[in-house]
Amino acid sequence: QAKNYVDQLHNEAYEDLFLAKCVTYESMITDYGRNKESLNGFWNFGVDQYDTCLRAKWYEENYVDNDGLRNPMDFSFDEWERMPIPSCWNVQREKYFYYEGSMVFTRTFYYEKHGEERVFLKFGAVNYDAKVFLNKQFLGCHKGGSTPFYIEVTQELKANNRIMVVANNMRKASNVPCKNTDWFNYGGIYRNVEIIRLPGTFIKQYAVSLKPDGTFSNIQVSVEIDGAVLDGQANIDIPELNIHETIQIRQGKGQCTIGAKPELWSPENPKLYDVIITYMEDTVRERIGFREISVQGHDIILNGQPIYLKGIAAHEESVLNGKAVTDAEIIENFKLAKEMNCNYMRLAHYPHTEQAARIADEMGIMLWEEIPVYWAIEFNNPETYRDAANQLSELIIRDYNRASVIIWSVGNENADSEERLQFMSSLAKRAKALDETRLVSAACLLDHTNHLIKDRLAEHLDIIGANQYYGWYQTDFNNLIKLFENSKPKKPVVITEFGADAKAGHRGSVDDKGTEDCQAHIYKKQVQVLGQISYVKGLSPWILYDFRCPRRLHPVTQNYYNTKGLLSEDKSYKKPAFYIMQQFYQDR
């Protein structure tokens, strides 16, 4: 044991022990519509730059090895400072603004059994990896900074409990995203931590959607059960549609198709139905919308009608809360998009909180959701692929029942190579295999030498997402016109990004980069061209509001902000380009 202790302290492989036990999409529970208890609130924390907690097993608290080497010497959990969870440490304390590394979070809580037989912990998101301990036991690790994970704690719970999470936001070349992105690397447990109490046998997952057969008259349901009783009958009720159906469950799985004529969900009519599923003593209840999205030639079709995606791109961030955005902030974003006459939003470049899709379901905004396969991912690294595929699976399982989500994006601006094609086409296939009710896309890089929409990945996508910055990075604007003359895409194209920096309130001539005037000028020229291209079926200009970014060092126009927003970073001020998009969408 002494040897182990020394090994842990002095051996750089200490982390492998934890990474070997990673929690994946396979342990996810569809928990919307379940009663949950919150473990949010104030947690004690310690900045652990050298990972001493993991190396010296602080989580075992009174660990004493054979040589008498003893802990605790270097910590006192309950005397540590406290910060609220969920939150990003960068905005909780100024001194941690740029901190990247491990932070140890801990709190205690009481637990009494109230008839449940199984108990799970849910973490909405921890950036980037999380190692979770309960009562001195290591329970599991999770990789991926924006998707939820679930850990069963039935055996480990006691009357008095200590939970500990080591959250590490270190950027790594092999991670998804890799070291270099164009957004701020917030750290922390920045979404809810919850306890879920369940019966011994329970409904683990369920998926309810309109069957994409073009008839709008079949609802398909699949249910997965976990526990001892894996054969039986589940029931689904949709009272408003007079649906009361039985689903046969065999070996934990069951599905059925039900004839029905639901009122269809759309941005104009975001109709949701109460859906209730039961199996033995377990009941889940949630609100679900029914819609069909498809492509036909160059058209994107919603519920049988061609649509134009009047969109805007957004990051998940606020000046005050970092990535730990509140419902009020999400609602504010959608309201601003609606004020701009949008029916659609691109949630770039990583999975935003599940609250976003829930609120979009209610408010009637179609969504593009994405995983952070961004720029120079290690496309030849199988471990990186596993991580990306896991994040994609977690996102799809999490939001499958959200009618607002119409597109899964497998990445953004990745240079074409054999490895990248293999990596991203496999992700696209995986998205299709997990979900036949949505479209698959990616924000592709264009060929800016020959001014061509050209990407071998396009063959594997339903919609070609195209980022272009003519008038800004591609300085000669006339090449945008050439691009469309040269290109003959066989699928609908959505312009996933275009834009220009403009510091709010900074004025000058249309040629003065970084002014509102220059940004507005570029927007005017862009929409004039884009509006005439028949196969361009939507836009999501970059971006709704300015965001923090360590790559943006221009002292006058940026100051560590990417200022391509149509609003200032606190959303209090609309730049002139906002009104250009508002007008363009109104006229369409």
State yes or no: residue 185 binds ligand GCB (CB under 6 A): no
CB 494 within 8 A of CB 348: no
- Site pattern 336..355 for ligand GCB (x: CB under 6 A): -------------x------
Interface residues for ligand GCB in 475-504 (CB under 6 A)?
A: 497
- Site pattern 440..479 for ligand GCB (x: CB under 6 A): ---------------------------x------------
**Which two structure tokens, joined as six digits, stand for 327?**
């419902």
Closest CA to 181 of 319, 345, 349: 349
State yes or no: residue 182 binds ligand GCB (CB under 6 A): yes
* Number of Cβ atoms within 10 Å of the Cβ of 456: 14
State yes or no: residue 413 binds ligand GCB (CB under 6 A): yes
Task: Map residue 521 onto helix, strand or coil.
Answer: helix
Residue closer to ligand GCB, measured from CB, 267 or 541: 541
**Which two structure tokens, joined as six digits, stand for 394?**
């977690």
- Axis-axis angle for helices 576-587, 516-530 (nearest 10): 20
| Minimum separation from the CB atom of position 183 to ligand GCB (A) | 7
| Minimum separation from the CB atom of position 89 to ligand GCB (A) | 23
| DSSP assignment of 522-548 | HHHHHHHHHTT-TTEEEE--S-SB-EE
Query: Could you tell me which residues come within 8 angstroms of residue 348 by beta carbon, excluding any fewer than 6 positions away?
Result: 313, 314, 315, 368, 370, 412, 443, 540, 543
Residue closer to ligand GCB, measured from CB, 401 or 467: 467
Residue closer to ligand GCB, measured from CB, 369 or 497: 497
Residue closer to ligand GCB, measured from CB, 119 or 500: 500
Residue closer to ligand GCB, measured from CB, 102 or 562: 562
The b-or-e profile of 367-381 (16+ CB within 10 A means b, else e) is: bbbbbbbbbebbbee
State yes or no: residue 30 binds ligand GCB (CB under 6 A): no
CA neighbours within 13 Å on the CB side: how many for 445?
Answer: 15
| Minimum separation from the CB atom of position 100 to ligand GCB (A) | 19
The whole-angstrom separation of Cα 400 and Cα 93 is 36
The whole-angstrom separation of Cα 189 and Cα 167 is 7
The whole-angstrom separation of Cα 430 and Cα 435 is 8
Residue closer to ligand GCB, measured from CB, 394 or 497: 497
Tell me which of 106, 185, 562, 568 binds ligand GCB, using CB under 6 A.
Answer: 562
Q: CA angle at residue 31 from 30 to 35, to 5 degrees?
A: 160
| Minimum separation from the CB atom of position 472 to ligand GCB (A) | 8
Residue closer to ligand GCB, measured from CB, 216 or 547: 547
| Minimum separation from the CB atom of position 411 to ligand GCB (A) | 10
Residue closer to ligand GCB, measured from CB, 92 or 467: 467
State yes or no: residue 540 binds ligand GCB (CB under 6 A): no
Under rule CB under 6 A, how many of the chain's residues touch ligand GCB? Answer: 9
| Minimum separation from the CB atom of position 349 to ligand GCB (A) | 6
State yes or no: residue 546 binds ligand GCB (CB under 6 A): no
The whole-angstrom separation of Cα 90 and Cα 186 is 6
Residue closer to ligand GCB, measured from CB, 130 or 442: 442
Nearest residue to ligand GCB, by Cβ distance, number only: 182
User: From residue 258, how far is each of 155, 240, 364, 498 by CA, in Å?
Assistant: 39, 14, 25, 43
| Minimum separation from the CB atom of position 473 to ligand GCB (A) | 7
| Minimum separation from the CB atom of position 504 to ligand GCB (A) | 16
| Minimum separation from the CB atom of position 543 to ligand GCB (A) | 7
| Minimum separation from the CB atom of position 309 to ligand GCB (A) | 17
Q: How far apart are the first and last CA of the chain?
A: 71
* Number of residues that this document lists for the chain: 588
| Minimum separation from the CB atom of position 153 to ligand GCB (A) | 38
The whole-angstrom separation of Cα 506 and Cα 483 is 31
Residue closer to ligand GCB, measured from CB, 427 or 466: 466
The b-or-e profile of 485-515 (16+ CB within 10 A means b, else e) is: eebebebbbbbbbbbbbbbbebeeeeeeebb
Residue closer to ligand GCB, measured from CB, 287 or 554: 554
Residue closer to ligand GCB, measured from CB, 391 or 562: 562
State yes or no: residue 542 binds ligand GCB (CB under 6 A): yes
Residue closer to ligand GCB, measured from CB, 390 or 562: 562
State yes or no: residue 563 binds ligand GCB (CB under 6 A): no
Which letter does DSSP use for residue 54 in this model? H
- Axis-axis angle for helices 327-339, 354-363 (nearest 10): 50
Tell me which of 564, 571, 574, 575 binds ligand GCB, using CB under 6 A.
Answer: 564
**Which two structure tokens, joined as six digits, stand for 514?**
């970084």
| Minimum separation from the CB atom of position 467 to ligand GCB (A) | 5
The whole-angstrom separation of Cα 425 and Cα 11 is 38
| Minimum separation from the CB atom of position 241 to ligand GCB (A) | 42
State yes or no: residue 412 binds ligand GCB (CB under 6 A): yes
| Minimum separation from the CB atom of position 562 to ligand GCB (A) | 5
Closest CA to 289 of 321, 258, 304, 267: 267
Residues linked to residue 548 through DSSP beta bridges, in sequence order: 561
Residue closer to ligand GCB, measured from CB, 52 or 562: 562
Which residues contact ligand GCB by CB under 6 A? Answer: 182, 349, 412-413, 467, 497, 542, 562, 564
